Amino acid sequence: MNELRRNWTRHLAVIVGYMLVRTAFYPFSDGHMSLYAGLRLSSLLVLPYRYWPTVVACDVFCLTQNVIECGAQFGIRWVLLDMIPGSITAMPVIWWCRERLNLFPNRRQINFMALFVAAAGVAATWTLMNCIAMTTVKDSKDTYPMSLVLVLTVFIGQYVGMLAVLPWPVMARAAWMSRQPLQQRLRSAVRPLFAIDTLILLASTALCLFLLSRNNHNDVRHIALMVIFIPMVWLLVKQDWRAVAVAGTPCLLFIAELIDSEPTPTVLQVEGFIALCLTGLFALGARISSQQQQKDRERREARQAILLARQSMQLNEARLRKTAQALELMGSALNLSHHQLLARFRHQMPANEAQRYYRQASSTRSQVNGLADSMHPSAWRERGLPAALRETIARVLAGAGVAYRCEIKGYNLHQLTPNLHTAIYRLACESVAYVNTQMICSSVRLHLREGTTRQVRWAMLCVEGSVETSHINDAVYDVGERQFLASKLGAYGLDLEALRNHAQLFGGLLHERTTAKGVRVTCLLVDEQPLRQVQRNHVSLPVNPWIA
């Protein structure tokens, strides 16, 4: 009662919605294909437990109208049995499916195995109650004799009616409980309904059924009922199990107008075929949706792995930068100590020996600075990425006797993320080291270009090594220095496959091409932020073909 006092408006909305939907189902419901059964089952499946008494009250009100109309005809015993609401007899089955069979694993998924069990169990329960009630009916010309055909027709008719109604409340529940913005939820819910192929299929199906309904030949009508599910399969393959609901419910309503209301063996065969097809299509749709969700999960995990790799690369670069700064400070301190020591003992040693010690101190400082530059160039720290590409690489190649030219196009290079700056410089160093391992280069040309396409920034790096005829002797003479190019550039000496993997961290592509004068390595990098598209709190669930 406290719940009713606090949320009486919600309970009133449930009553109004229940009666409106029941009124809308009235023209399409008959004795054996009951959409009312789907309405009762959907209400108990989707609504929370606190609304179940409201559903029972609506059910009792509807049964009271039925008893008033047919009570005098069928007798008092039928009235007493028929006044038992079907929602009450269905509650144990539905509770077991929701709590024990995990009908709703999460906010957006449904266990179709539990759904089929709930529909079949409730249909069997209501069929049993209907059969018991029919045995108590007094003699009347409007009743049918109890038979296996009648029992199966009632069971299958209720089962098909449930499958025609159930998917819609389930889809509405998933959209309502989704954490997406309201506009996005409405768009995702309306998209499959108003897709071009869906509208064309439904229109053509309705026209076909209308024309076939004009033909009274039973064989033609039965074949039409069999063929009507083929377009649904096509929609199912293109989308998921929701396509079965979008296309299946209108088809069932059309079919209900074509078949007879009397429980005959022919009607039983048609309804049995419909129930089998719908169950199979929903199961297949659940399998397709499960595969799509598995692919989405793998895609998210891949993006998470890429994100972690980028973060690791950036942390490693930060460590190298700090180490390089520490080495530079250590080199300065060491050089200062050497000069102070030499200044103190300068008068106690020959002049030539003092000069030799001064040269050794300067050489040590140069080596320390070179090691620091190979880790993280000082030009990069002080003047940015263009200075590192123009100065640091040029100084290393000049020491190996290789001519170098750097071209940078674009004015928004500073707007690229630090991760992409790191990737550009490291790929440039690795590419320069790679082309020098493939051939004895006399010159290296580096070309960097950045741009924006559809609000996505990108950078294209091209490193080309070539041999000029006029410098071939210098290139061969300095071949010994080339062995230390990779270490001086801070490169690992990666091969082409490793370079491709490095570029793929930024959605890039890398190509190698042999030209007339040398080797060219081209790499395209995309400046994207996968962090915004990765769900950090996503919990990986075991793959289940029945859960979609």
DSSP string, 61-86: HHHHHHHHHHHHHH-HHHHHHHTS-H
Radius of gyration of the chain (CA): 39
Please state which CATH number belongs to domain 384-533. 3.30.565.10
The pLDDT of residue 196: 61
Please state which CATH number belongs to domain 1-179. 1.10.1760
Portions of the chain given CATH number 3.30.565.10: 384-533
Q: How confident is the model at residue 24 (pLDDT cuts 50, 70, 90)?
A: confident
Distant-in-sequence, close-in-space partners of 270: CB < 8 Å, separation ≥ 6: 222, 225, 255, 259
Q: What digits encode the pLDDT tens for the residues 27-85? A: 776 655 788 889 999 999 999 998 999 999 998 888 887 777 776 677 777 777 878 88
Site of tokens 């045995």: 135
Closest CA to 422 of 309, 302, 519: 309
Terminal-to-terminal C-alpha distance of the chain: 37
Q: What digits encode the pLDDT tens for the residues 212-239? A: 656 655 666 666 666 666 667 777 766 7
Q: What digits encode the pLDDT tens for the residues 360-385? A: 777 777 788 778 888 888 888 888 88
Is residue 437 a contact partner of residue 443, using CB atoms and an 8 Å limit? no
Neighbours of 430 (CB within 10 A): 24
Q: pTM (2 decimals)?
A: 0.69
* 3-state secondary structure (DSSP) of residue 409: strand
Question: Which two tokens mark 530?
Answer: 């996968």
Portions of the chain given CATH number 1.10.1760: 1-179
Question: Which two tokens mark 170?
Answer: 């389930």
Q: How confident is the model at residue 3 (pLDDT cuts 50, 70, 90)?
A: low
Residue 93 has pLDDT above 90, yes or no: yes
What whole-number distance in Å separates Cα of residue 320 and Cα of residue 457? Answer: 27
Q: How confident is the model at residue 201 (pLDDT cuts 50, 70, 90)?
A: low
Q: What digits encode the pLDDT tens for the residues 288-323? A: 888 888 888 888 888 888 888 888 888 888 888 888
